[in-house]
Amino acid sequence: MSAPSRLDAEAGSDAREPSVITFDGPAASGKSSVAQRVARALGIPFVSSGLLYRAATHLVAHSGTDAFDQAAVLALLGAHMVELRPDVAGNDVLVDGRSVTSELHTDRVDAVVSTVAGHPAVRAWVSQQLRRVPPPFAIDGRDMGSVVFPGARHKFYLTASPEERARRRVGERAADLAAVAAAIARRDQGDARQLAPAADALHVDTDELELDQVVACVLDAIRASDSGSTASEPQGAAS
């Protein structure tokens, strides 16, 4: 499927980030899977903001830097070249020219990332990199619609119950359901400050929906909004 014409027509305009689509929500709410599929359907790149926080955390962990020391973390980031390469197919993160993407979704990174991401200076470092990405794109994270791209054309906030999110993530981690649920709860708590949804985001409760249904709901909402009509929402899914 090709991108809606208004996305094409307005690509490059910087008035209100008209061709940016944001997907925010807590860990394992399905943001990245949905954002990636929506981006593919629209023929635009997908950008994962979490990968930059994860790459910063990976650097911190491997250098023995104190994750609580904001100045030391910032100095570390300044001493290395971290590059996010967005694409329709996925994202790659390079640190000093070496791809570290396959090393970023680990329990070790999960355990420390909220601490690193909690530093205002780190958030400014990530936001600056993201704002340099040329639109159009679909981006996922915690504060994409609320802070980094407040003028985004379409904003979605995905939620699911803690139990459902733990069930979804358990297959991706070498840990049992209880351990995954506990890790997600810790991260929800650590990320609380970043998790407030944008006032104008469309909320999608994904508990009862398959991935394809969430994608269809989002694409419907985008098309309805772009054609000036009211979004038709699957019952109980969006608000």
Whose CA is closest to 84, among 27, 117, 126? Answer: 126
In angstroms, give the least distance from the CB of 172 to ligand CDP: 9
Nearer to ligand CDP, 4 or 84 (CB): 84
Nearer to ligand CDP, 191 or 205 (CB): 191
In angstroms, give the least distance from the CB of 49 to ligand CDP: 4
Which parts of this chain interact with ligand CDP (CB under 6 A)? 27-28, 32, 49-50, 53-54, 113-114, 117, 141-144, 187, 191, 194
In angstroms, give the least distance from the CB of 50 to ligand CDP: 2
Nearer to ligand CDP, 32 or 159 (CB): 32
In angstroms, give the least distance from the CB of 29 to ligand CDP: 7
Cis-peptide, bond into residue 136, ω within 30° of zero: yes
Nearer to ligand CDP, 4 or 101 (CB): 101
In angstroms, give the least distance from the CB of 1 to ligand CDP: 25
Sheet of 92-95: strand order equals 82-85, 92-95, 98-99
Sign of the four-CA dihedral 117, 120, 121, 126: positive
Give CA–CA dist 176/224, Å, rounded.
41
Whose CA is closest to 125, among 68, 71, 64? Answer: 71
For 54, residues 6+ apart whose C-beta sits below 8 A from its C-beta are 93, 104, 105, 109, 113
Three-state secondary-structure class, residue 90 = coil
In angstroms, give the least distance from the CB of 81 to ligand CDP: 20
Nearer to ligand CDP, 113 or 222 (CB): 113
User: Which letter does DSSP use for residue 192 in this model?
Assistant: G
User: Which letter does DSSP use for residue 196 in this model?
Assistant: P
Nearer to ligand CDP, 67 or 221 (CB): 67
Q: Are 110 and 183 in contact (CB under 8 A)?
A: yes
Nearer to ligand CDP, 19 or 57 (CB): 57
In angstroms, give the least distance from the CB of 184 to ligand CDP: 8
Q: Which residue has the tokens 């969430």?
A: 214
Give CA–CA dist 200/166, Å, rounded.
27
Q: Are 138 and 21 in contact (CB under 8 A)?
A: yes
